[in-house]
């Protein structure tokens, strides 16, 4: 017998549940049915986190088979492969096998009443394919093959195999642990010694989905096999994963990874797969709606598109006549796609005449964008996810970037490369995230103090002359000015330790490792961006990378999520433009609220938006008050949510492969194309269609032409020509490969795709010969008189003075607006108002009642903002809003694991379920984003009941990462 089995590497698994998602769609499983299940495990008293894939062990002496009372038995063991399977036609549903399995690996179908278990995807194996779980696993934690061969591979990699034969069943499945040093004790066995958080396993807040939610292929796999396969890409996040869409009768019935992709090789996260639950979702908006009662009354009636568009156009004209064209604001998020937010909408705004158009950038990465433009002269970051580049780094340092959950496939590659090479990994985060659980060191920093840590590291590197002097002298403009300033301010490791709460020795060790590593990748993300010091924190980390020579090289660099081209605006004929006299109100939608409520500095009376700003913008109470005051609110989206409830018109949107085009750009400069593969539900329409049709009613049809409703035509004839880096990305080139992506910048169709950018001896794209970096000087620019003048115009300095949030419980400087009138900012491409600010000393007396710091962020890998809360399987995985809290704080407040608690801030209060864990800073609580009260399965309030979103004065990025709060047990507990 050649025993087949799975090998599961616990050092690589990050608990993303992609294997769980694949198993359900491939094997036609519905709610509460499992052939495998990923458990998060830990000891609340210890800062630790483990992940265990619970699946059939394919035992030599299977208890399930022995327990089956049916004659003939419903369970059998294949004599050639050793795989144990269940014959559902023979199973009576008695449950004896489920009870007998000592590993908890047997599932049950509560609808058809029979046992469910893993048979290593027998139909796929019969077609020569591997089990679905192994094919999609983003982290390469799951391997399939013959047991003896897998044991040999584990031995060659010096990977210990855990003993999981506690029940004398002879299990075949292998669980591999990390290599341990000789003086290290054996880890606890996750099968027996650790427990999952109550928020994952206890009864969720609402019952399982009914049958209306469970569409093909779930519970219907046998008659829904694809008859055609189409390549494309996921349209959710910046990972930009490539997919294969299985089609049948004009519908998508299967979504798996594209195994022909040379980078990802078919590996995807659960979100990509669960978009199957998007296209035929019973909660989708399918017809235009018009409100008949007051805002919030939800007295809507169905209308036709013609009536909706005519009404909207008429009311827009009334607003323009009364308050000017600038009184219309437009907010469109990345759900609508790159073609929309960088193409159709900017064309519309030029013809309508409003500067007040924004995307989600001010809530995501505006601070990073401004910092890159100042320092690098471009938003195109150099590094890419290949073994030769990011995979060759000797050290990976993550600042506020939980990549394992936000971009699981990219992290899976990084972790795999670093384990193979023996590279180091350090994670700086107030939480022991899934990313931190895989690191060599987790540094539980105080929120909002990453800039202080970076300054301490820089000070230590200069103190020991560990900097790359040759690189600094040739390629870093202003480095001596920064060095002297940091020395004068005495931003030492002792100073940084006092502010960050980190051990002095840890900071010194990290400085030494960064300076001496043969290539150090410094990753940052929302944990750095979403602060009022976001620009300066980014610039300081960029300086850390620059002085150690980690910029413009393979295996070293500064990387902050999305890497986009330097966008050009699509030109509109002068005859079609509507000039406007007033500048944009700011670079954040938060700056629209006073204009809506008070008409300051001028009025905003209309808003066209997507996404769910009424729940997901900070300071939710003020947002909803402002929305209720508008003369016109148009909401175009996939689902009815809290914004829809306040809207005058609710319009149904198409998404992903219902409309085609580019939804997101991958973070390593890959442009991924989707064809339109299926019709949207009901009368839903693409955002492209909406802007063209609305433009017709306003006389814009000569520019926003009907033919541009086809995204391929718009891309090829209009869109790519506006941005030099995209000009070579023709439709012919995009569709010529089986994986449908092209890496930019490419100047023309025949230009080879670039590798790592800004390498020594090269010229930056679009720059004069000899300019290595695309700045005016050709160097990385940190200080010069031009940059300093920009900062001085706002009341700041371009030198890295440390400041943090006003609400930080740490007594550190912060910025505040002064009384001078707003002026035009020098940091944006279009005329945009900004306030003057001053750097203020910390208050003498802190408000003791707010004794806790609130951190917000993305939840686990199966969720993305609000989208996934309409996917029944994502809700099954993580149903309830949770609040991570340290055991010491929980005990002092009488808060118990899994039970409700109340979080209060100066702006409001919120209830969530307690997740008690030592993997969080003792003075911090964490609440994820994405929940709201309108979601169908587990509705909870939004964390934005608590946030204020004060702005970075330079980029207008909102602070979403640090707010004062207090916690208490719920009165219902």
Q: What is the mean pLDDT of residues 710-738?
A: 96
Q: Is residue 108 part of a domain?
A: yes
Q: What is the mean pLDDT of residues 521-546?
A: 97
Q: Is residue 795 part of a domain?
A: no
Q: Is residue 42 part of a domain?
A: yes
Are residues 587 and 631 both part of a single domain? Answer: yes
Give the three-state DSSP class for 714: helix
Q: What is the mean pLDDT of residues 846-870?
A: 90
Answer yes or no: is pLDDT of 584 > 50.
yes
pLDDT tens digit sequence for 277-327: 999 999 999 999 999 988 878 899 999 999 999 999 999 999 999 999 999
Q: Is residue 391 part of a domain?
A: yes
Q: What is the rounded average pLDDT for all residues in the chain?
A: 94
Query: What is the per-residue pLDDT for 973?
Result: 43
Residue 580: band (very low, low, confident or very high) from pLDDT cuts 50, 70, 90: confident
Query: What is the per-residue pLDDT for 524?
Result: 97
Rounded-to-10 torsion of CA 139, 144, 145, 147? 90
Whose CA is closest to 316, among 349, 362, 280, 277? 349
Which residues lie closer than 8 Å to 879 by C-beta, 6 or more apart?
A: 204, 205, 206, 937, 938
Are residues 921 and 877 both part of a single domain? Answer: yes
Give the three-state DSSP class for 867: helix
Point out the domain boundary residue: 153, 176, 192: 192
pLDDT tens digit sequence for 408-434: 999 999 999 999 999 999 999 999 999
Are residues 891 and 913 both part of a single domain? Answer: yes
Q: What is the mean pLDDT of residues 516-525?
A: 98
In sequence order, the β-bridge partners of residue 833 are 824
In this structure, of 121-130, 495-504, 541-550, 807-816, the range with the lowest mean pLDDT score is: 807-816
Is there a contact between 596 and 590 (Cβ–Cβ < 8 Å)?
Answer: no
User: CATH no. for residue 544?
Assistant: 3.40.228.10
- What residue spans of 336-468 are helical by DSSP H? 338-339, 345-352, 361-364, 366-375, 403-406, 408-421, 434-437, 450-463
Whose CA is closest to 885, among 906, 866, 870, 902? 902
Are residues 379 and 335 both part of a single domain? Answer: no
Residue 201: band (very low, low, confident or very high) from pLDDT cuts 50, 70, 90: confident
Q: Is residue 272 part of a domain?
A: no
Rounded-to-10 torsion of CA 797, 801, 802, 803? -30
Answer yes or no: is pLDDT of 760 > 80.
yes
User: CATH no. for residue 889?
Assistant: 2.40.40.20
Q: Is residue 235 part of a domain?
A: no
Answer yes or no: is pLDDT of 579 > 90.
no
Determine phi and psi for 161, rounding to 5 degrees. Answer: -100, 120
Answer yes or no: is pLDDT of 95 > 70.
yes
Q: What is the mean pLDDT of residues 898-920?
A: 96
Please give the residue range of the domain that contains residue 877.
852-969
Q: Is residue 397 part of a domain?
A: yes
pLDDT tens digit sequence for 49-85: 999 999 999 999 999 999 999 999 999 999 999 999 9
Are residues 20 and 155 both part of a single domain? Answer: yes
Q: Taking the CB of residue 553, how many other CB atoms lie within 10 A of it?
A: 19
CA–CA distance, 678 with 185 (Å, rounded to integer): 55
CA–CA distance, 770 with 768 (Å, rounded to integer): 6
Are residues 543 and 606 both part of a single domain? Answer: no
Are residues 128 and 19 both part of a single domain? Answer: yes
Number of domains the chain contains: 4
Q: Locate 110 and state its tokens.
A: 């509560």
Is there a contact between 582 and 602 (Cβ–Cβ < 8 Å)?
Answer: yes
Are residues 394 and 491 both part of a single domain? Answer: yes
Q: Locate 705 and state its tokens.
A: 């032409």
Whose CA is closest to 833, among 951, 947, 948, 949? 951
Cβ-in-10-Å burial (0-12, 13-18, 19+) of 412 comes to buried
Are residues 550 and 583 both part of a single domain? Answer: no
Cβ-in-10-Å burial (0-12, 13-18, 19+) of 248 comes to middle
User: CATH no. for residue 311?
Assistant: 3.40.50.740
Are residues 67 and 138 both part of a single domain? Answer: yes
Residue 185: band (very low, low, confident or very high) from pLDDT cuts 50, 70, 90: low
Answer yes or no: is pLDDT of 1 > 80.
no
Point out the domain boundary residue: 165, 192, 219: 192
- What residue spans of 561-651 are helical by DSSP H? 593-597, 613-616, 620-628, 642-646
User: CATH no. for residue 14?
Assistant: 3.30.70.20
CA–CA distance, 449 with 284 (Å, rounded to integer): 42
Are residues 554 and 578 both part of a single domain? Answer: no
Query: What is the per-residue pLDDT for 225?
Result: 81
Point out the domain boundary residue: 192, 208, 236: 192
Are residues 415 and 457 both part of a single domain? Answer: yes
Size of the chain in residues: 973
Whose CA is closest to 386, among 405, 410, 404? 410
pLDDT tens digit sequence for 208-250: 777 788 888 898 766 668 999 999 999 888 889 999 999 998 9
Q: What is the mean pLDDT of residues 599-610?
A: 97
Whose CA is closest to 256, among 25, 69, 74, 64? 25
Residue 806: band (very low, low, confident or very high) from pLDDT cuts 50, 70, 90: confident
CA separation, residue 65 to residues 88, 100, 105, 863 (Å): 14, 9, 13, 37
Give the three-state DSSP class for 33: coil
Q: What is the mean pLDDT of residues 128-142?
A: 97
Q: What is the pTM of this model?
A: 0.96
């Amino acid at each position: 017998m050649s025993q087949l089995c799975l090998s599961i590497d616990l050092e690589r698994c990050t608990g993303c549940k992609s294997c769980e998602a694949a198993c359900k769609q491939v094997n036609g499983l519905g709610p509460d049915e499992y052939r495998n299940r990923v458990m998060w495990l830990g000891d609340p008293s210890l800062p630790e986190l483990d992940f265990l894939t619970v699946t059939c062990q394919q035992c030599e002496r299977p208890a399930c088979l022995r327990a089956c009372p049916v004659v003939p038995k419903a369970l059998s063991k294949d004599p050639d492969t050793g795989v144990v399977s269940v014959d559902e036609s023979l199973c009576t549903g008695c449950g004896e096998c489920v009870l007998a399995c000592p590993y908890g690996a047997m599932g049950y179908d509560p609808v058809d009443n029979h046992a469910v278990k893993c048979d290593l995807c027998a139909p796929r194996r019969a077609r020569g394919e591997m089990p679905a779980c192994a094919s999609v696993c983003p982290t390469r934690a799951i391997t399939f093959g013959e047991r003896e061969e897998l044991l040999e591979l584990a031995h060659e990699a010096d990977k210990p195999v855990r003993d999981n034969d506690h029940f004398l069943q002879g299990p075949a499945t292998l669980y591999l642990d990390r290599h341990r040093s000789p003086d290290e004790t054996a880890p606890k066995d996750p099968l027996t010694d650790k427990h999952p958080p109550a928020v994952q396993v206890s009864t969720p807040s609402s019952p399982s989905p009914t049958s209306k939610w469970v569409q093909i292929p779930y519970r219907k796999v046998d008659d829904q096999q694809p008859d055609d396969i189409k390549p494309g890409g996921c349209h959710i996040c910046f990972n930009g994963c490539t997919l294969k869409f299985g089609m049948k009768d004009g519908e998508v019935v299967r979504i798996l990874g594209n195994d022909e992709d040379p980078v990802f090789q078919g590996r995807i996260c659960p979100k990509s797969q669960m978009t199957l639950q998007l296209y035929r979702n019973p909660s989708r908006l399918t017809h235009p709606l018009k409100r008949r009662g007051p805002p919030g009354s939800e007295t809507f009636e169905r209308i036709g598109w013609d009536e909706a568009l005519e009404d909207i156009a008429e009311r827009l004209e009334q607003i323009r006549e009364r308050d000017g064209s600038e009184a219309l604001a437009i907010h469109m998020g990345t759900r609508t796609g790159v073609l929309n937010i960088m193409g159709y909408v900017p064309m519309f705004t030029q013809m309508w005449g409003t500067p007040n158009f924004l995307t989600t950038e001010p809530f995501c990465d505006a601070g990073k964008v401004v910092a890159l433009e100042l320092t690098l002269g471009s938003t195109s970051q150099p590094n890419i996810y290949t073994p030769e580049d990011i995979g060759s780094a000797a050290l990976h340092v993550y600042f506020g970037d939980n990549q394992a959950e936000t971009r699981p496939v990219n992290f899976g590659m990084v972790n795999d490369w670093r384990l193979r090479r023996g590279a180091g990994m350090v994670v700086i985060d107030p939480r022991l995230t899934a990313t931190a659980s895989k690191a060599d060191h987790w540094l539980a920093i105080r929120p909002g103090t990453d800039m202080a840590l970076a300054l301490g590291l820089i000070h230590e590197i200069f103190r020991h002359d560990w900097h790359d002097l040759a690189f600094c002298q040739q390629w870093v403009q202003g480095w001596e000015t920064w060095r002297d300033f940091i020395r004068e301010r005495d931003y030492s490791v002792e100073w940084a330790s006092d502010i960050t709460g980190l051990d002095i020795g840890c900071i010194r060790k990290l400085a030494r490792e960064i300076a001496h590593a043969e290539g150090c990748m410094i990753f940052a993300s929302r944990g750095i961006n979403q602060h009022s010091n976001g620009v300066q924190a980014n610039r300081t980390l960029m300086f850390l990378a620059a002085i150690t020579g980690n910029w413009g090289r393979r295996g070293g660099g500064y990387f902050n999520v999305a890497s986009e081209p330097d966008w050009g605006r699509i030109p509109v004929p002068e005859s079609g433009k509507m000039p406007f006299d007033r500048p944009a109100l700011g670079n954040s939608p938060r700056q629209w609220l006073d204009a809506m409520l008070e008409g300051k500095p001028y009025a905003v009376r209309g808003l066209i938006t997507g996404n769910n700003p009424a729940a997901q913008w900070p300071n939710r109470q003020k947002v909803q008050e402002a929305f209720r005051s508008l003369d016109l609110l148009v909401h175009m989206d996939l689902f009815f949510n809290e914004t829809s409830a306040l809207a005058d018109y609710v319009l149904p949107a198409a998404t992903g492969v219902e409309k085609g085009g580019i939804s997101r750009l991958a973070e390593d400069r890959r442009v991924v194309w989707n064809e339109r593969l299926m019709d949207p539900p009901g009368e839903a329409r693409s955002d492209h269609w909406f802007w063209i049709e609305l433009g017709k009613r306003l006389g814009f049809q000569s520019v926003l032409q009907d033919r541009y409703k086809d995204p391929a035509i718009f891309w090829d004839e209009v869109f790519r020509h506006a941005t030099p880096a995209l000009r070579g990305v023709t439709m012919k080139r995009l569709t010529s490969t089986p994986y449908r992506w092209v890496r930019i910048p490419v100047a023309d169709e025949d230009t080879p795709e670039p590798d790592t950018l800004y390498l020594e001896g090269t010229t930056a794209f679009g720059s004069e010969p000899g300019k290595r970096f695309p700045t005016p000087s050709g160097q990385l620019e940190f200080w010069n008189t031009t940059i300093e003048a920009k900062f001085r115009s706002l009341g700041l300095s371009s030198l890295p003075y440390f400041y943090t949030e006003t609400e930080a419980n740490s007594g550190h400087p912060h910025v505040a607006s002064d009384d001078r009138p707003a002026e035009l900012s020098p940091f944006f491409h279009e005329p945009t108002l900004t306030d003057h600010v001053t750097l203020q000393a910390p208050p003498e007396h802190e408000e003791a009642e707010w004794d806790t710091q609130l951190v917000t962020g993305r939840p686990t890998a199966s969720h993305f903002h609000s989208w996934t809360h309409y996917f029944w399987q994502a809700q099954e995985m993580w149903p309830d809003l949770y609040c991570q809290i340290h055991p010491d704080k929980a005990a002092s407040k009488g808060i118990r694991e899994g039970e409700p608690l109340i979080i209060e801030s100066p702006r409001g209060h919120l209830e969530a379920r307690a997740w008690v864990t030592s993997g969080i800073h003792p003075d911090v609580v964490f609440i994820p984003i994405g929940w709201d009260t309108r979601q169908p399965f587990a509705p909870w309030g939004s964390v934005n009941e608590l946030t204020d979103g004060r702005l970075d004065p330079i980029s207008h990025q909102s602070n979403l990462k640090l707010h004062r709060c207090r916690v208490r047990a719920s009165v219902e507990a």
